[in-house]
Every structure is written in structure tokens, then in C-alpha cells.
Amino acid sequence: MRAGTDAPSAAYLILDDPKRRNALSDTLLDELMESLGRAADDPDVRVIVLTSSHERVFSSGGNLDAFADTRPTIAKYAGLKRFPDIFRALTSIDKPVICAANGDVLAGALGIALACDLVIAKESVRLGCPEVNVGAFPFMISALIFRATGRLIANDLMMTGRLISATEAAAAGLVNRVVPDAEFDDAVRAWVATIAEKSPLLLGLGKKALAATRDLPLDAALDYLQAQLALAFTTDDLAEGVRAFKERRPPVWRNV
């Protein structure tokens, strides 16, 4: 795992174990969690981008060695907590997280991608849940897949283990944007720049609201969102945004 910047306002977190196709080992997951924490705490970072150093693979998913783990069951169960911890962290960070899928997104890595706020993929990328092909099942990521696409599509992916193209994934709601490989880096930078222009405070409040209301009944969700909108009205950034729009100038966010 390594970190980098491509713009002052963006933190690039790069899966960097190419010899093992960025398999999600305990070490890599721990490093990812630490990197997410640092990016979340950095006041200069407005957007977090998760990507890969491998030319063809974003991540091959869970480390296959873990399936043959001979440790006591209680120890293996404790180790599995890393995946839900990562998923929850990606959802709860009050900054937009983009998955820049520059290679195949497989198995547990698909869960990580779907826990991000936005997913952009190269045209050549494939996505899927091949766990069933080696006698396993994508238990942990099924909750994320079902929240991103329809039940029948989710069942198809998880029960057949087939890989789908980025274009098919976009049609299924698993990917936001698919771009030609040669245009990928520029497209990611443009997306980052667009998001970084927004109020970090309001984006954070909005992301929190989306996560909090995703599984609520409609009436409860509307009550929560009404309270969040009232809170937004108290911020200087909302007032500044309206002033800037009327004065036809870029807003100057104060994050308060």
C-alpha cells in the first residue's frame, strides 16, 4: 500500500502488491485502513481516490491462503472483521471516496469498490465474484452487491462466478462511469477536480445523510433529512454558495 497525490486536494491510496495481484491480505487491509484514517484526518484532502499499481488488476480479492487457514475458528473469525471494518470506514469517512478501477475488480475487492461513493472504470476492466469457482461464496460482499443492483443480477454474479465487462457493470448499477483506457487518468483527474470544488462541509453532511437513511423507512428517512437540511441552513458555506452564484464568482468555502 502506498499513498500519493495528483492534486493538492486529493489523496491517492494505491494498492501496491503487484506480485500477488493486490490480493487482500491481512497486511494490505490493515495498511489500507491506516491510509484511510490519515486521509480522513488531513484537512487539506477533499477527495480520496483508491486505485492500483497493477497494470491489469485492481485487486484479485481475498487471499486464497486464508481459505486454507488452519488456525482455530475463533482466530479466523476475528480476522474476518477486517472486511466489514473497511466497508464501514469507506462509508463513514466524511469525504467522497472514488474507486478508480484501472484493472479487474474481483471478489472481496468488488465489495471495497461498492463501499466507495463513486466508481469509475477502464473500458477493459472486468468485475465479478469468482469465489464460488474455488468452493467459497462471497458472503461478506453480498450485502453491498444487493444494495447496488437488483436481486437477480446479484444472484447471477454470485452463483455463477462469471466476470462481467465494465460496460455491463455500469448497466447493472455497479459502476458510475466507463471510459476508454487511454482516457482513464484524465477522466479521474477531471472527476476529482469537479468534486474538490464543492463545499467539503456540505459534502460531508450529505454523505452522512445518505448513509444514515439508506435502509430507513420513508417516514423516518424524511424526518432525518429534514433535520439535516435545517442544519445545512445554519452553515456559512451554504450562504456563501448562494452569494457566489448570484455574484457569478467561484465560492470561497470556509468549511463552517
> Which helix H or strand E contains 126, and what residues bound it?
strand 126-128
CATH of region 10-196, choose from 3.40.50.280, 3.40.225.10, 3.40.50.10490, 3.90.226.10: 3.90.226.10
**Range of weakest confidence among 64-78, 86-100, 199-213:** 64-78
Quick one: pLDDT at residue 18?
85
Of 93, 97, 28, 82, the closest CA to residue 59 belongs to: 28
Mean pLDDT value of segment 55-77: 73
Quick one: pLDDT at residue 19?
86
Residue 68 has pLDDT above 70, yes or no: no
**In the annotation, is 34 catalytic?**
no
Residue 35 has pLDDT above 60, yes or no: yes
Contacts 24+ apart (CB under 8 A), 69-74: none
| The three cell numbers locating residue 151 | 436481486
**What is the domain partition of the chain in residue ranges?**
10-196, 198-247
Residue 28 has pLDDT above 70, yes or no: yes
Looking at residue 183, its amino acid is: E
> How do residues 88-125 score in pLDDT, each as one tens digit?
999 999 999 999 999 999 999 999 999 999 999 999 99
> How do residues 220-253 score in pLDDT, each as one tens digit?
999 999 999 999 999 999 999 999 999 999 999 9
Residue 163 has pLDDT above 90, yes or no: yes
CATH of region 198-247, choose from 1.10.12, 1.20.120, 2.160.20, 1.20.1280: 1.10.12
| Helical pair 200-213 and 218-233, crossing angle rounded to 10 deg | 170
Quick one: pLDDT at residue 83?
93
Residues 6+ apart with CB under 8 A from 93: 36, 39, 40, 48, 207
Residue of 34, 123, 131, 183 with catalytic role: 131
Backbone angles phi, psi at 102, to 5 degrees: -95, 10
